[in-house]
Amino acid sequence: MTTTARAQGATIWLTGLPSAGKTTIARLLGDRLKGGGLRTEVLDGDEIRRFLSAGLGFSKEDRDTNVRRIGLVSEVLARNGVLSVVPVIAPYAVSRAAVRERHQRNGVPYIEVHVATPVEVCSERDVKGLYARQAAGELSGLTGVDDPYEPPVDPDLVLRTQEQTPRQSADAVYALLVERGLV
């Protein structure tokens, strides 16, 4: 088989706070990529926590392990020609750097998108009710509230979703992929 630019995979990692918009954007982007006939996977963080990362919690160590595992799965997919979209918080810079470095070492494209929705907006959206539960004292260690989120220092793209529709956010990621010759 001849390798063409269109057969090149990549990891597209969407990092950000709970309710920032990662899943919504990943699904819209995934649908658009699949609709264009491209091999695409959206790695669902919740599903991974049920299986591959079953038993892991939300300590720094467990989150790091979770992110590195997902990074490896995504890299394997990407080096086999899949556009792998990863909507996972990945709160620690060191974990994200480890995933990026592995990709770079192995020549696999890696795109980091910061879904940079402010915590005030995320807590208003509160899709899963986590912010309310934290405020009610029913949950602790919520990313961005009483657990760290280290914002990416040099992401490939920053999305200010509070100023965009979900479609506009997904289109911005798609445009970056076009610019990088990945679609």
Ligand X SMILES: Nc1ncnc2c1ncn2[C@@H]1O[C@H](COP(=O)(O)OP(=O)(O)O)[C@@H](O)[C@H]1O
> Which residue, 77, 145, 69, 155, is CA-closest to 111?
155
**Pick from ligand PPS, ligand X, none: which does 49 bind, CB < 5 to 8 A by kind?**
ligand PPS
The position carrying tokens 């599903």 is 47
Q: How far apart are CA 21 and CA 24, in angstroms?
A: 5
Question: Does 21 contact ligand X by CB under 6 A?
Answer: yes
- Our finding on whether 142 is near ligand PPS (CB under 6 A) is yes
Burial 7-30 (b: 16+ CB within 10 A, else e): ebbbbbbbbbbbbbbbbbbbbbbb
- Does position 24 interact with ligand X (CB under 6 A)? The reply is yes
**3 state SS of 57:** coil
Q: Report what 161 binds from ligand X, ligand PPS, none; CB cut-off 5-8 Å by kind.
A: ligand X
- Selected from 25, 29, 85, 182, the binder of ligand X by CB under 6 A is 25
Specify the stretch interacting with ligand X by CB under 6 A; choose among 18-26, 30-38, 68-76, 145-153.
18-26
* Residue 139 to residue 147: CA distance in whole angstroms: 11
Instruction: Tell me if 66 contacts ligand PPS by CB under 6 A.
Output: yes
Side by side, the strands of the sheet bearing 40-42 are 40-42, 83-87, 10-15, 110-115, 157-159
- Contact flag: residue 123 with ligand X (CB under 6 A): no
Binding span for ligand X by CB under 6 A among 17-25, 29-37, 65-73, 101-109: 17-25
According to CB under 6 A, which residues from 76 to 115 bind ligand X? 87
Asked whether the beta carbons of 122 and 17 are under 8 A apart, the reply is yes
71 binds, among ligand X, ligand PPS, none (CB under 5 to 8 A by kind): none
Interface residues with ligand X (CB under 6 A) are 16, 18-25, 87, 125, 127, 161, 164-166, 169
